[in-house]
Amino acid sequence: MLNRKNIAIIGAGAAGLSAAFYLSKQKYNITIFESAPFVGGQASTININGGLLERGYHHLFTNDYSIIQLMKDLNISNKMKWYPSKVGTYINGKIYPTTSPLDLLRFGALPFTERIKLGLLSLRIKNIKNWEKLEGFTANEWLEKKLGGESYEKFWKPLLRAKFGDYFDQIGMPWFWSKMQTRFASRKGKIPISFLNKEVLGYPDGSFETIFDHLKIYFKQNNVDLLLSTPVTKIIPQENSTISLDYKKNNSHNTRNFDFVLSTTPSFIFSKLIDLPNEYLKKMNSAHYIGALVMIIELEKKLTDHYWVNIVDENIPFLGLIEHTNMLPKRLYGNKNLIYLTNYLDKDHKYFSLSNSQIFDMYLPHLKKFNEKFSENWISNYHINSLSAAQPIIGKNYSTNIPAHNTPIKNLLLANTTQIYPEDRGTNYSIRMGKEIAEKLNKT
């Protein structure tokens, strides 16, 4: 291709890396700017006893087609493995299995008639094909109206509150519908009615870093310039429709010009890089971000028998317990049992101002609730990670508020998690979005 266009991508998370990969096939000159010293964003990893583990829990569903296709395109399909999942719900001082519909029928925290209602509601949601008809409701409104009773008050309402905190009653019903559809799609087994089968989840051999490592190798082989520890500080449109980027590299300030710029930063960061018209800003700000606080604990012994435990107990200061080594073998991590303790909190929540040791001391007494034999002596190490933009709050009628990928600034595009809808934000959908942006630019 003569006179190859120069494209800048701000952010080396899943969306930015995917866009770079699919754009490179058209022989563009591509430069990726990443402020962190690593790639992967929310799916980036840390080393635990020789094994790589995501800073925040990650897994894939069987209908995560975009990431599965990317692995095919990278010739690493053989790296994807599928594992049976085991979900529990902690309520009234006990963990109840809640993986399958049959588990729900045995869910002793609710009267039998309420369990039947839960199962019937799940079937009803599974059969809804047109999510647009749900846009006028929040999940809280719809569930209260269609379900109500103890199965709403003691099951879904506390889980929504645990996931979204003070924003639990603002989440659009299409989000809930999509989350349920994803769960249904991951049920595999011999029973003809897929709804009754058990859930399986995917995880790449060697962690999600396996995908990112192969992308980095591809970038080196195809002259994609990946600049780590290089934050962009300003986006400056030029009169000739090119776009200039100010950025820092090795403590020096630099400026480069590009034909196109794709930003994958959260909206509140993007709005600080460039002045945008009020109408577009209003749409960008219609989705409020909440942060995530994640503690990873290394244990000498298994804490629970479940991979995932939802917590319905307001006295416990974290909302979820994911025991990673109940799905992956602990030999990968120096024979340690690994648990995530997760929290979704407003960016200004007081927990974010606490020291690691203060958070540890706050969480520690509650672990015994999940296993009465637990002892602090089981803990060999712990790690804490925080994110300021982990989850956008997607309200009702959101399809009218989604900011377009094409910003009002010519040749400047935006791709972030607020534009994933109705699906929940996630690595798979970020990869899908990156590929879609690449296809858009390839037609330019």
Q: Is residue 270 located within the same domain as residue 297?
A: no
274 and 299, same domain (yes or no): no
Both 378 and 257 in a single domain? no
Same domain, 310 and 383: yes
Q: How many helices (H) and strands (E) does the chain have?
A: 13, 20
State both tokens at 416. 């972030």
Q: Which candidate, 383, 139, 390, places its Cα nearest to that of 266?
A: 390
C-alpha closest to that of 312 among 110, 86, 106: 110
| Token duo for residue 347 | 């960016």
Task: Check whether residue 357 and residue 416 sit in a common domain.
Answer: no
Coil, helix or strand at residue 426 = coil
- CATH classification at residue 119: 1.10.405
Residue (of 418, 429, 314, 413) closest to 7 by Cα position: 413
| Residue recorded with tokens 């577009």 | 280
Residue 71 within any structural domain of the chain: no
Per-residue pLDDT tens digits for 247-272: 999 989 999 999 999 999 999 999 99
Biggest distance spanned by C-alpha atoms of the chain? 70
Strand pairing class (260-263; 51-54) = unpaired
Integer Cα distance of 408 and 400 in angstroms: 17
**Domain assignment of residue 177, given as a range:** 84-204
Is residue 385 domain-resident? yes
Same domain? 376 vs 401: no
In this structure, the answer to whether residues 400 and 279 fall within a common structural domain is yes
Q: Is the peptide bond before 422 cis (omega within 30 degrees of 0)?
A: yes
Going from the C-alpha of 380 to that of each of 144, 267, 303, 320, 375, the distances in angstroms are: 44, 38, 14, 21, 11
45 assigned to some structural domain:
yes
| Cβ count within 10 A of residue 365 | 11
pTM score, two decimals? 0.92
Within a domain: 228? yes
The reply to whether 73 falls in a domain is no
The pLDDT of residue 131: 94
Q: Which of 149, 171, 204 is the last residue of a domain?
A: 204
How many angstroms separate the CA atoms of 73 and 246, rounded? 33
| Domain boundary, last residue among 377, 393, 409 | 393
| Same domain assignment for residues 106 and 185 | yes
CATH number of the domain that residue 316 is part of: 3.90.660.20
The amino acid at 309: V
Instruction: Say what the pLDDT of residue 192 is.
Output: 38
Domains: count for the chain: 3
Which of 150, 177, 204 marks a domain boundary?
204
**Same domain, yes or no, for 320 and 233?**
no
- Please check whether residue 143 lies inside any domain of the structure: yes
Both 130 and 166 in one domain: the answer is yes
* pLDDT of the residue at 302: 97
- Does residue 421 sit in helix, strand or coil? coil
Q: Is residue 52 part of a domain?
A: yes
Q: Based on the domain organization, do 279 and 400 belong to the same domain?
A: yes
**153 and 35 in a common domain:** no
The pLDDT profile of the chain, 444 residues, written as one tens digit per residue, is 457 899 999 999 999 999 999 999 877 899 999 999 999 998 999 999 999 999 999 999 999 999 999 999 999 999 999 999 999 999 999 999 988 878 888 899 999 999 999 888 988 998 999 999 999 999 999 999 999 999 998 889 988 887 887 899 999 999 999 988 887 776 654 433 444 457 899 999 999 999 999 999 999 999 999 999 999 999 999 999 999 999 999 989 999 999 999 999 999 999 999 999 999 999 999 898 999 999 999 999 999 999 999 999 989 999 999 999 999 999 999 999 999 999 999 888 999 999 999 999 999 999 999 999 999 999 999 999 998 888 899 999 999 999 999 999 999 999 999 999 999 888 999 999 999 999 989 887
CATH of residue 404's domain is 3.50.50.60
CA 90 from chain centre, in angstroms, equals: 23
Say if 68 falls within a structural domain. no
| Phi, psi of 176, rounded to the nearest 5 degrees | -65, -45
- Look at residue 210 in the predicted model and tell me its pLDDT: 97
